[in-house]
Structure formats: structure tokens, C-alpha cells
Amino acid sequence: MKVLIADQFSPKAIEELKAAGLEVIYDANLNGDTLTACLAEKKPAVLVVRSTKVQPPQIDAGIPELKMVVRAGSGYDTIDTAYAKEKGVAVCNTPGINATAVAELVFAHILNADRRISENVTLFRQGKWNKAAYASCPGLKGRTLGLVGFGNIGLLVANRAHAFEMEVMAYDPVVKAEVIEKTGTKYVTDLMDIAKNCDFVSIHVPGGNATKGLISKEFIAAMKDGATLINTARATVVDEEAMIEKCKAGKLFACLDVMSNEPAVKKGDFTHPLSAVENIYCTHHIGASTLQAESAIGDEAARVVMTFSKSGEILHQ
């Protein structure tokens, strides 16, 4: 069976697939038209991707040989699942495995926003010393973190926040109050309570229609002056325009690992409107990109592919 891997992927998992007798084609730089061309030429039975988009042109290029798309990550928002289904291509993912890596990145962003480490480093590199400018960072102890979503990642972020002696409150209409409160986290039923009361707000809900614009213009307007919004989930959850306006006005910090119109290049130069906005700190969609997470996600994706090749069973569908 032929497997095409079109994103950064664990070398160990590639070896596992090869050892199981599968033919592996690995090109982490494929995207858009180059992915379409590769699918048309190589005709794999399985395509493995992370956040590379799989849309009708790619699915059309792969069928009829393409039988399964494995998203080595959480959610399916980069894949046209309805079209895949219509064309008889199964889609599955590797849920929950990136949680620790994402929670760690959230804290990297929180600490960076509070202590302005990236600005410190940039100034130092420019040969500019300004200790006084960074003397009035508030610190984390006793400050309030609001979690929008309390699934696998939200829980791990809460645990880390408690270790920093922060107050934590969470909004999640699906998770029971007692599950949230058991962790020492305050449970709120009104999302606006998070906006009004928190110094930091971190988003941990999936993308898609159900959460589109959940962090609305009204939510952003209600956030405390000087608060920080952290989004390592999906860009669609936030009203980006309202967020940009408040950041430009110097009343909000936004730490983003996801953004609309994420640069299409996998590596190289890009232009993006957010790169010019002060008070917005973007990382390169690296939430799941620790060696530990990559290895665990790779193992699970390899298990999914090998199960399919042996028995036709589709896991995590």
C-alpha cells in the first residue's frame, strides 16, 4: 500500500510504516497545487497531513486510488470532509495527543506577554539597553486566567496556571461544573464573565461553525484594558477585526499561534497583515510542534494507517 506524507512527520513513525511493508513517499513541502500534482502522479491509498489543506482538487487528483486521509492533529477544519465522504474517501485524525505541547505553548505566550521577553531580546540584539522599560511588568501570581473551553488542553492549561498561583475560571457549556470545580477552577455559565474579569483569556475550543465568532466584537470590547488574548485553537473563533482594532488602540495584547490566511508557504518569505500590528505576537502555528508531541502523534497516525492496511478498519473516524 502506498502512503503519501505531506507535512513534517516523525522519522520514527516513517520507519515503522516502512517496516510494516508500506511504500512511503515523504515530502513535507507539498501544498496546494504541488500536493494535487503529487497525488495525481503517485496515486497513494493514504494521504497523511497536519495542517496542509485537503480540498476538492486534491481529493479529485487522488481518487479512485485514494481511500483515506489521516489528519495528524486535532479536528478536521483543513479538510473538506463532506466532499471526501461523497467521493468515498475516509477521513480520520489523532485526537487529544497534542494537548501537553499546546498547553506549554500557551504558557510560553503568557510569560512572554507578561515579561515582554521577545521585545527584550529584540532590543538587546539591536544593542539597546532599557532595564527601566521592563520594570513594571505585573507578574502572574494572583492574576486571573479565563479558559474558553475545558477539554484536554484547557485542563492542562488550568493545571499549569494553578502552579503559577493564578486564579482560573472556565467557560464550557459541555463539561460538567463539578469536573471543572474539582481542579480548583471557578466555573462560569456566562461567557461574558470571562471577558469582564480576566487578565488573560486562552481559547481551547475546536474550530468549525459551532464556535465561529465565539470571541465576538462584544466579548473583545468587554475585555479589561491591558488584558491578553491567547489563541492556539483556531482563527475562526475570534473576531479578528475587533481584536486588531483593540490591539492597535493599545488596550489589548494578542498572542496568536493561529491566524486567518495563515502564510501559504511552508518555508520562506511571506506577507501578512498581522505582522505589522503592534501588541500582536504571532508564532508559526507550532502548538503541536514539540519533539514529544510529534513523536506521539506520529506513532498514533502510523497505528491508524497500519490498522487500515491490515484490516481495512478506520480508527478515529
The nearest distance, CB 84 to ligand MLT, in angstroms, is 17
Query: Which grid coordinates are listed for 228?
Result: 491578553
> 242 in helix, strand or coil?
helix
Gyration radius from the chain CA atoms? 21
Residue number closest to ligand MLT, CB atom: 73
Provide the annotated active-site residues: 234, 262, 285
**Helices vs. strands in the chain: H and E counts, helices first:** 12, 12
The nearest distance, CB 194 to ligand MLT, in angstroms, is 23
Helix axes 117-125, 99-115, angle to 10 degrees: 60
Cβ proximity to ligand MLT, 187 vs 281, nearer residue: 281
Asked if 172 and 149 touch (Cβ cutoff 8 Å), the reply is: yes
Q: Is 207 in the site for ligand MLT (CB under 6 A)?
A: no
> What's the distance, Cα to Cα, between the start and end of the chain in Å?
20
The nearest distance, CB 76 to ligand MLT, in angstroms, is 9
Alpha-carbon distance 214 to 80, whole Å? 22
Cβ proximity to ligand MLT, 93 vs 144, nearer residue: 93
DSSP code of 8? -
Helix, strand, coil content of the chain in percent (nearest 5): 40, 15, 40
Q: Could you give the string, one character per residue 261-300, with x where binding to ligand MLT holds by CB under 6 A and - elsewhere?
A: ------------------------x-xxx-----------
Cβ proximity to ligand MLT, 235 vs 274, nearer residue: 235
Q: Could you give the string, one character per residue 10-49, with x where binding to ligand MLT holds by CB under 6 A and - elsewhere?
A: ----------------------------------------
How many CB atoms sit inside 10 A of residue 288's CB? Answer: 25
The nearest distance, CB 124 to ligand MLT, in angstroms, is 30
CA 129 to chain centre: 34
How many CB atoms sit inside 10 A of residue 298's CB? Answer: 25
Q: Is 50 in the site for ligand MLT (CB under 6 A)?
A: yes
Residues numbered 173-192 forming contacts with ligand MLT, rule: CB under 6 A: none
Q: Is 75 in the site for ligand MLT (CB under 6 A)?
A: yes
Stretch that binds ligand MLT, among 72-80, 130-138, 143-151, 167-175 (CB under 6 A): 72-80
Stretch that binds ligand MLT, among 73-81, 190-198, 211-219, 271-279 (CB under 6 A): 73-81
Would you call 142 exposed, middle or buried from its count of C-beta atoms within 10 A (0-12, 13-18, 19+)? exposed
Asked if 89 and 210 touch (Cβ cutoff 8 Å), the reply is: no
The nearest distance, CB 155 to ligand MLT, in angstroms, is 16
# residues near ligand MLT by CB under 6 A: 10
| Phi, psi for 287 (deg, rounded to 5) | -50, -40
Instruction: Choose among 203, 154, 206: nearest CA to 183.
Output: 154
DSSP code of 36? H
The nearest distance, CB 34 to ligand MLT, in angstroms, is 17
Residues numbered 97-136 forming contacts with ligand MLT, rule: CB under 6 A: 98
Among 73, 146, 149, 151, binds ligand MLT (CB under 6 A): 73
The nearest distance, CB 266 to ligand MLT, in angstroms, is 11
- Report the interface residues with ligand MLT, using CB under 6 A: 50-51, 73-75, 98, 285, 287-289
